[in-house]
A and B are shown apart, each in its own frame.
Chain A
């Protein structure tokens, strides 16, 4: 069972702050992490590899610091990782990103399954998985929360719906996007992390020419959409959580009501 996992490195916050002048993300002081749903995708792939044999290849597109996400994936048990990093890839929209990932998967070849997280916490589009499947012409199942059975030529999974689930059988190779309900991701092994940092670690770095694409077809130039403006939504009201025991919370609440001249 050869599995490819698509992961993204994202800022470790759901409370993203934007520079009001430039509209860009303020990354200072915010740690980068593997996108949470993608950690579940990694866990699914690694567990499946342990059960069925084969190998797990992790693929990510991003700036050089994305290497940390790939090192962590190796630490969790992936066999190899590929970082797609090239200035030509910068500014890609989801279509351009999916095209670049698709081209890379074609180059890797010989896969049975592709796992992705449902969506990334920084963009929330949930478009990459379906678009990559579309590009590769492979069947896809999204919102997978249980892998029921895997056979040589097909897989049976359950996908979450708003009011229940669907049990789906699909042929392999296929692409699955997974949700957190699927599993509990393991922590990386320290020894594997240390090895991932060594020169001989199984992490490759590919640029545009490595996957046979031209700069005009990828990144901002290859994108059909462009972000004109990014802005933070304005909150008219904001809640505040009070902490402590009941007595302390009640006291603080009364103080605040008095401060605001409500009592």
Chain B
């Protein structure tokens, strides 16, 4: 039976959306530093936010491969928009999807997949980054639920999130086994947040601190089985890493596309700079790294879709593609010469935005250690 390939079709449609709707306004959005809610709603209207969820909860019935293809294309247009979209599709909603009640799905999940409510995911604390055992936000058992006290930082969508999936410690003596995720709506009394952080890159995605002061939540807002709280994170850790890799591929492509265009146009010593071998070497390295990264992402997303364990491969994919994107954006700045240093061209944004990818999904220092551990056991 003759049918279209969904991966090619979704990529093509997302690419057109990015070319027509995102790229023409990306620079202006970045300069304003405000989140583009209108574009986010357009993405939601296409069903992208539910791409990896089944239709029975309001999703689009896709999978991780299609999700990562969509995120790569969005990142090619504007990384900060892609990052918030990726968060909404995965980390902000997956705990709610897996462990939320039917009522929670109706009140929060379905509206989130329609882009009407925004979710956030809260892991990091000032003293707990890669080391989650240091989480101090406390969830204390009460007669009718839990009381949350503490703070989180580097919360993507924190200032305008409608609900939050928050990692809390239920029993400090149990360390990692005492950690649990809690679902906390923003209108819970005792919830507040700081002003939006000023950041080097991804300036439109709002990051902030979040404070919980005696936030009382019902028992069903604890996501998952007591003692297995980290499952909320571990079940999607490979997906988070490979999604970050897909974002890196998109940023890499943006830097490479602009570089190719520029080095065909920019004439020095009587010929386009693309005719010089040192520039060609930069383009060649960008192309080779992009192709290698694509293969890694493609392999891992299909492994996830086929329920094959692949955390190590996902870590490698994230590490490689993000380092490649950092290199590509740096080389793009060099190809553009002094114009790369001006705010007139987009390459400066790619260069600033690439730093965002280094932290989410695991710092590269931690990733290298965990990758090496697989071989040194």
Contact = CB atoms under 8 A, between A and B. Distances in A.
A153 interface: no
A254 interface: no
Interface stretch (B8-16, B211-219, B362-370): B8-16
A72 to B, nearest CB: 7
Contact of A190 (B3, B5, B62): B62
A139 B94 CA distance: 54
Contacts of A163: none
B9 A244 contact: no
Interface of B: 1-6, 8-10, 12-13, 16-17, 42, 45-48, 50-51, 55, 59-62, 66, 70, 265, 267, 270, 339, 344
Contacts of B51: 190
Contacts of A190: 10, 13, 46-48, 50-51, 60, 62, 66, 70
A199 B3 contact: yes
Contact of B50 (A75, A191, A195, A198): A191
A195 B12 contact: no
B6 A201 contact: no
B21 to A, nearest CB: 8
B258 to A, nearest CB: 12
A138 interface: no
A67 B12 contact: no
Interface string A171-192: 0000000000000000111111
Given A72-B9, A195-B61, A189 B47 contact: yes
A83 B12 CA distance: 20
A255 interface: yes
A205 interface: yes
B22 to A, nearest CB: 12
Contacts of A75: 9, 13
A194 interface: yes
A53 interface: no
A259 interface: yes
A31 B13 CA distance: 12
Contact of A193 (B10, B17, B42): B10
A192 B10 CA distance: 11
Given A187-B17, A189-B60, A67 B47 contact: no
Closest 4 CB pairs of A and B: A191-B60, A71-B4, A190-B47, A197-B6
